[in-house]
Amino acid sequence: MTIENAGENCLICVDTGTTNTRVWLTQGDQIVARAQTGIGVRDTARDGSSARLRNALRELIEQVRAEAINAGLAQSPSCVIAAGMITSPLGLIEVPHVRAPAGLKELAASTQRHSFPEITDLPILLIPGVRSGPPRCDQEAVGTTDVMRGEETLCLGLNALGLLDARSTLLNLGSHWKVIKLDQDARIASSLTSMTGELIHTAQTQTILASSVPNARPAAIDQTWLDAGMREQRKSGLARALFCVRLLEQASDSAPEQRLSFLVGAFLASDMDAMISGGWLSQESKVVITGGGALAETWRNALTKSSIRAIPLSDSEVEGALLAGCRRVFSTKTVVEKIAELAKLPENWDEYGSRPIQPAAIERTIELLRELSKFDLPLPQIFPVPGGGIQLEWQNAKRALEIEILSDGSVEFLIVDEEGEMREGQVSPYSLAEIHRLVHWLFSPLAAPPEVG
């Protein structure tokens, strides 16, 4: 059997964290193959070299490409696109953070294209992280400073899939616990990170509490014991609440899993109370929770008791959003590069007296394509047109859509249906809704011709 969706973007997506690296081969929004390994940038820090990470990437990329071929995929990937700690000094190469507020426009513009022939013959696009707060900080300003690598791509995908709205808050529960606020344009406005996930694991495995609690991430949380841990932290502080776990082991009939719930409750109360008092979590903003396994539902319950609406997402939703974010960056980066080439065309580029592509056409084209990146469309063909405009073309089975952005930024369209009948018109000024209807008709076989203009 052959997998064939002509025109769909075929990519290899990479997410590298502190302890793991995941790789997917995708065609459009479909996952064709996936692989992962327990190697991350922590290994680079330990080894003093990124050789282990580079070898792991090479093997994972080769694995998903082989699996895709075996599955009947005829299309070759366009590139590798990577996010996370792979862009840090401990990754392949450092990509500077983008300053907040940052959205798709800023992230795509700062995404770097590199070649690593020892890893793959494909170009590798590296998505930058985001930094909030002042460029440099001292002991007074450090509390307003934060950084992320990977979560910015997740935010792009969650927003595109309708899972994270503008002015919402994301709470990501990984090795570090991170809360991210989006502004009115769904850009990352600011973030706050704690080491809580790592500290819980350290308390479980590297302290006197190692004999008191299981050493694995909790598969379930005992609500009664979690509440007790939260109360103790609020009464006597985090350090004392943690020592109480030791006392419970010595002088109670509690089970290790109950004591772990108590420990988690102490950490959760410490972080949640600080986030609420700092204005990071509030009743005015919905909170979307990603990662954390059983901890996500625990957080939801705790926030609900504080009258804060919280929605945990499934692992599959988070995976899909991360890949959607990668695709959005790839699409936007690719079309912006193509348009930048067109912008260099000189006077009389067609030898018929045409003028160069005009700034209004360039700006409007980028705006339209950035908006359309939410829909996982195949990349359009992009052409210059006489008079200083740009034409976008899509073909889907027997339907076709042409959108022409004129030199003044106005937009015209031409559609061709299954019978070969053509219809053309003009899009109302700045009407993204009308563009949406045209695209919906093109990729929805049962849709009637749209009323536009």
Q: What percent of the chain has pLDDT over 70?
A: 98
Check residues 447 and 238 and name the one with the higher pLDDT: 238
Q: Is the pLDDT of residue 63 over 70?
A: yes
For residue 5, the model assigns a pLDDT of 46
Mark whether 202 and 307 lie in a shared domain. Answer: yes
Q: Flag whether 305 is in a domain.
A: yes
What mean pLDDT is predicted for residues 154-182?
96
Q: Is the pLDDT of residue 409 over 50?
A: yes
Mark whether 304 and 364 lie in a shared domain. Answer: no
Banded pLDDT at 453 (limits 50, 70, 90)? low
Q: Is the pLDDT of residue 449 over 80?
A: no
Check residues 137 and 15 and name the one with the higher pLDDT: 15
Looking up residue 435, the CATH number of its domain turns out to be 3.10.450
Mark whether 259 and 354 lie in a shared domain. Answer: no
Max CA separation in the chain (angstroms):
91
Mark whether 301 and 354 lie in a shared domain. Answer: no
Q: Flag whether 5 is in a domain.
A: no
What mean pLDDT is predicted for residues 371-387?
88
Mark whether 299 and 233 lie in a shared domain. Answer: yes
Mark whether 350 and 409 lie in a shared domain. Answer: yes
Check residues 452 and 211 and name the one with the higher pLDDT: 211
Complete DSSP assignment for 170-216: EEEESSSEEEEEE-TTS-EEEEEEE-HHHHHHHHHHSSGGGGTS-SS
Distance CA 170, CA 4 (A): 36
Taking a C-beta distance cutoff of 8 angstroms, is the pair 154, 15 a contact?
Answer: no
Q: What are 116-122's contacts with CB under 8 Å, separation 24+?
A: 116/54, 116/92, 118/54, 118/58, 119/54, 119/57, 119/58, 119/61, 119/92, 120/12, 120/57, 120/58, 120/61, 120/80, 122/12, 122/61, 122/77, 122/78, 122/79, 122/80
Q: Flag whether 419 is in a domain.
A: yes
Of 295, 312, 329, the last residue of a domain is: 312
Total number of domains in the chain: 2
Q: Flag whether 425 is in a domain.
A: yes
Q: Flag whether 116 is in a domain.
A: no
Encode pLDDT of 266-317 as tens digits.
999 999 999 999 999 999 999 999 998 999 999 999 999 999 999 999 999 9
Mark whether 205 and 294 lie in a shared domain. Answer: yes
Mark whether 248 and 356 lie in a shared domain. Answer: no
Q: What share of the chain is helix, strand, coil (3-state, %, to 5)?
A: 40, 25, 35
What mean pLDDT is predicted for residues 18-37?
96
Quote the pTM value. 0.90
What mean pLDDT is predicted for residues 170-184?
96
Mark whether 298 and 216 lie in a shared domain. Answer: yes
Looking up residue 275, the CATH number of its domain turns out to be 3.30.420.310
Report the range of poorest mean pLDDT among 200-209, 270-279, 367-376: 367-376
Q: Flag whether 77 is in a domain.
A: no
Q: Is the pLDDT of residue 151 over 80?
A: yes
Q: Flag whether 19 is in a domain.
A: no
Mark whether 423 and 353 lie in a shared domain. Answer: yes
Q: Is the pLDDT of residue 323 over 70?
A: yes
Encode pLDDT of 430-441 as tens digits.
678 888 889 889
Strands 10-16 and 21-27: antiparallel
For residue 46, the model assigns a pLDDT of 94
Q: Flag whether 294 is in a domain.
A: yes
Mark whether 307 and 349 lie in a shared domain. Answer: no
What mean pLDDT is predicted for residues 410-418?
93
- Residue 395's CB is within 10 A of a number of other CB atoms, namely 16
Distance CA 103, CA 153 (A): 9
Mark whether 352 and 303 lie in a shared domain. Answer: no
Q: Which domain holds residue 218?
A: 196-312
